[in-house]
Structure formats: structure tokens, C-alpha cells
């Protein structure tokens, strides 16, 4: 006898499934390991200018892409082969629609025996966010080109004998980061602009602080401005 509140996969699909799945407004689908569409909601089907009824029960690459075999970059296939979740961000083009930046998540669903029984697919439209990141990346390249001309910063230190020049040797990456830091970007934002991890940014920021002898981002911004690095 089944315990109350526990449902098999088939019961979920054909019982409560439609009620739950239809409430999901972003592109959403469930596929079996043979690429058959077990469930596609309206948002997913409409990307291919079809209704859910036209897709459900069909082989996805046949009905959506008019192919006789899986696509070369099929991430459903990648989940089946690796047994791991796949997260993909890239530009997508669909019939009759503007190009969009989509982040698509592919999650394996396992049977009691541990085999992959199905793959859940969720799509997120992040076009606006990606466009902003592209603008920041272009701005970062512009700043980097300027820094390549200006080279490293030079500090002036006063002593009893007058002024002494101290050249601060910043790495190429540090010279990319310091103007962004001076512009007020956070470590996470800088990481996104430069396509590196936030931990890497943190390490470089600490190195910058040590090299130029400051304790916080405000002081670093002032130093960068005085030395024409921002």
C-alpha cells in the first residue's frame, strides 16, 4: 500500500501534474530519456509556434527541429550521458521572434533504481540582463585599452628631502579591475563584466589594496583618480 502523500512519477504526470505544470508560466517541459516530450506547457510549445497538444508525446528533435536524430548540442542528451544537471546560457532564435538570451536548466529525475527516468527543462529569458552585461563588458574593454596606454600608476610621497616617486606595479588584471572598482561596481558585478569568479576579484582587490597602501574601496578610488587610472 502506498503511503499518503507519496506519488509515483506516472501519478504526478497524469494526476496532479497538469494542475501544477499549467501554473508554471516560463517555458517548461518534461522529456524522457528517448527525447519524447512527456509534457510541454504553453510557453515552451509557443516558442516553436505550436500548441502543447502538437508537441506532447512526440520526439522533440523530430517535431521541433525537423531532424531524424538528436541535435549536436543537445543538453537532454548531455544529461543522459553524464547523469548531471546542465545549465546553459546562450542566444536563441525562434521562428517569428526576436533573438533572446536564454538560461536553460536541465534536471535529471531518477527512478527508485537510480536510473534517469526523465529530464525536467526550465527556460529563463535573461535578455535584458545580458544586454546590460554586454554594455559593461564593452565599457571594461574601453577602460582596459586606455590603461594599456597609461601603463601603471605612480605615487608621489613627500619626505624631508622632497618628493619621491614610487611606481606601483599592478598586474594587467588589477589594472582592469581598479577603474571598475573606482566606478563603484561590486565584486559580483566586476566578476560578471570580466567573466571571472567573485573570489578571484576579491583576491585581486586585496592585492591592489596592499600594493597601493589603502584600506578600503573609497581610498582605492581616490588613488586611481589621482593616478589617471579611473
Domain boundaries along the sequence of the chain: 9-125, 129-226
Query: Residue 4's pLDDT is what?
Result: 44
Q: Which of the listed CATH numbers 1.10.3720.10, 3.90.1150.200, 1.10.10.10, 3.40.309.10 matches domain 129-226?
A: 1.10.10.10
- Three-class SS state of 229: coil
pLDDT at 10 over 80: no
Distance CA 34, CA 21 (A): 21
**pLDDT 10s digits, 99-141:** 888 899 999 998 888 889 899 999 999 888 888 777 777 766 6
Query: Residue 140's pLDDT is what?
Result: 65
DSSP label at residue 32? -
Residue predicted with more confidence, 163 or 128: 128
Torsion on CA atoms 153, 228, 230, 204, rounded to nearest 10: 0
- Three-class SS state of 214: coil
CATH superfamily entry for domain 9-125? PAS domain (3.30.450.20)
Average pLDDT on 137-165 reads 52
Instruction: Provide the percentage of residues in the chain whose pLDDT is more than 90.
Output: 34
Query: Residue 157's pLDDT is what?
Result: 40
Least Cα distance to 56 among 74, 36, 70 occurs for: 36
pLDDT at 6 over 70: no
The band of 183, judged by pLDDT with boundaries at 50, 70 and 90, is confident
* E strand intervals along the chain: 28-31, 37-40, 86-92, 100-110, 116-125, 154-159, 162-167
Amino acid at each position: 500500500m502506498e503511503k499518503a502523500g507519496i506519488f509515483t512519477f506516472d501519478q504526478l504526470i497524469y494526476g496532479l501534474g497538469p494542475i501544477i505544470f499549467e501554473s508554471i508560466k516560463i517555458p517548461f517541459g518534461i522529456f524522457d530519456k528517448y527525447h519524447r516530450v512527456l509534457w510541454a506547457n504553453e510557453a515552451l510549445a509557443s516558442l516553436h509556434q505550436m500548441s502543447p497538444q502538437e508537441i506532447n508525446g512526440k520526439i522533440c528533435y523530430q517535431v521541433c527541429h525537423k531532424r531524424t536524430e538528436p541535435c549536436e548540442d543537445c543538453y537532454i542528451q548531455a544529461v543522459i550521458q553524464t547523469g548531471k544537471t546542465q545549465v546553459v546560457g546562450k542566444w536563441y532564435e525562434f521562428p517569428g521572434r526576436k533573438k533572446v538570451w536564454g538560461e536553460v536548466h536541465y534536471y535529471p529525475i531518477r527512478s527508485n533504481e537510480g536510473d534517469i527516468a526523465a529530464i525536467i527543462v526550465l527556460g529563463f529569458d535573461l535578455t535584458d540582463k545580458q544586454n546590460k552585461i554586454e554594455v559593461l563588458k564593452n565599457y571594461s574593454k574601453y577602460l582596459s585599452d586606455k590603461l594599456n596606454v597609461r601603463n601603471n600608476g605612480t605615487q608621489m610621497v613627500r619626505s624631508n628631502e622632497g618628493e619621491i616617486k614610487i611606481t606601483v606595479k599592478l598586474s594587467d588584471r588589477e589594472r582592469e579591475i581598479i577603474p571598475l572598482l573606482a566606478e563603484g561596481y561590486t565584486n559580483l558585478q566586476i566578476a560578471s563584466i570580466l567573466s571571472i569568479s567573485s573570489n578571484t576579484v576579491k583576491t585581486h582587490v586585496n592585492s591592489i589594496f596592499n600594493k597601493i597602501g589603502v584600506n578600503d574601496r573609497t581610498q582605492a578610488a581616490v588613488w586611481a583618480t589621482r593616478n589617471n587610472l579611473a
